[in-house]
Amino acid sequence: MPLGKPFITACIGGGIGGAVIGGLGNIGAIAIGPSGVALIPLINNGHWLGYVAGLLSAYVGGFVATFFFGVPKEAMNPDAATDDGATVPETSSDTNETETTEAVEKQVVTKAADTVTAPVDGQQIPVNEVSDPIMAQETMGKSIAIKPNNDSPVFSPVNGKVMFVADTSHAIGYTSDAGEEVLVHIGIDTVNLKGKYFDLTVKPGDVVTRGQIVGKVDWTAVAKAGYDTVTLAIITNSQEFTIDKHSDETSVEKATVVMNTNPVS
């Protein structure tokens, strides 16, 4: 789902499978149960072959749709793929930049206690009030959410390195010196703006310090375009840390600590 297009093409595959099963007709389950291969024993009246035909059609259709329409070329490079549709661009003309990015990706970090600061100046809101249900449920990891002030730049929330920058500039991924993998997601559904109103100044491999300005966003224009400006800092490897969120903080700025982390022993 974070990549967007592959989620849609996978749904198309499911639609193809459903069309095949519907076309064959009289195929159903005797009880509510799991989906996919695990559902085969519950198919009624021995029509499981028809169900399997639909299942295979869904797999093949989803694969073909995703292969041709769902994955950008740069994502075909396994070293370039990242979360949330963000990709580290391939650099055919700049070998040094490519080598730097690969070195960052292979870096081994010793985990330690650390702090994560606000990625923007603004008003912190409860994460469960974020309009995106996936983010509201912290599916991607422990998170904080901030409604940015109209004049706020975007800051690095950690000391560390930039791992990726979305080609649409709506997300930046960091690995901190203490081992947290922090995703800053700028706005909700702002991937659809395709970089408009965003001006990020960092690239993969850059070393950053906590509170450093890494870009600017025309928040007013983003809001006028109909998008929620709420910005999140998400620790995507939350399972590797115990995390204390400072949810009592309301008005925050670049130096405000919003999360304390300690590595799980």
> pLDDT tens per residue, the chain (265 residues)?
556 677 787 788 778 877 887 887 777 766 665 667 666 676 676 676 777 887 788 788 778 877 777 665 555 554 444 444 444 444 444 444 444 444 444 455 678 889 999 999 999 999 999 999 999 999 999 999 999 999 999 999 999 999 999 999 999 999 999 999 999 999 999 999 999 999 999 999 999 999 999 999 999 999 999 999 999 999 999 999 999 998 776 899 999 999 999 999 7
Tokens (6 digits) for 93 = 């003309």
- What is the token pair recorded at 158? 């950690």
pLDDT at 3: 60
Please say whether the beta carbons of 185 and 170 come within 8 A. yes
pLDDT at 80: 45
Closest by CA position to 169, among listed 184, 159, 150: 184
Residue closest to 172 by CA, chosen among 220, 215, 140, 117: 215
Angle at 35 between CA 34 and CA 38, to 5 degrees: 70
What residue type is 220 in one-letter code? T
Q: Can you give 144-213 as a three-state secondary structure string? A: EEEEECCCCCEECCCCEEEEEECCCCCEEEEEECCCCEEEEEECCCHHHHCCCCEEECCCCCCEECCCCE
The structural domains of the chain, ordered by start, are 5-71 (no CATH), 94-263 (2.70.70.10)
pLDDT of res. 15: 85
The 3-state DSSP class for residue 120 equals: coil
